[in-house]
Amino acid sequence: MQNYVIIPRKNPSKPMEAPKFYAVARSGRTASVKEVCRRISERSSYSKGELEGASENSC
């Protein structure tokens, strides 16, 4: 079963209007940094090692 969260979002061009509410899907699982780096490296020109190094240096 998919979990959803209701998020209010305002229109930036009309800040005085009431927000509209949207359903946003929530994932039931967590991903490690290595998993995220592997997935990004499959779809980009960065290597897995470059991404892992950048994530370690940003903390």
Residue by residue, pLDDT tens for the chain (59 residues) are: 678 999 999 999 999 999 999 999 987 788 888 888 888 999 999 888 888 888 776 65
38 burial (CB, 10 Å; 0-12 / 13-18 / 19+) is middle
* DSSP annotation of 40: H
Specify the number of domains making up the chain: 1
| Domain enclosing residue 19, as ranges | 3-57
Please tell me the chain's helix, strand, coil percentages from 3-state DSSP, rounded to the nearest 5.
35, 25, 40
Q: What is this structure's pTM? A: 0.49
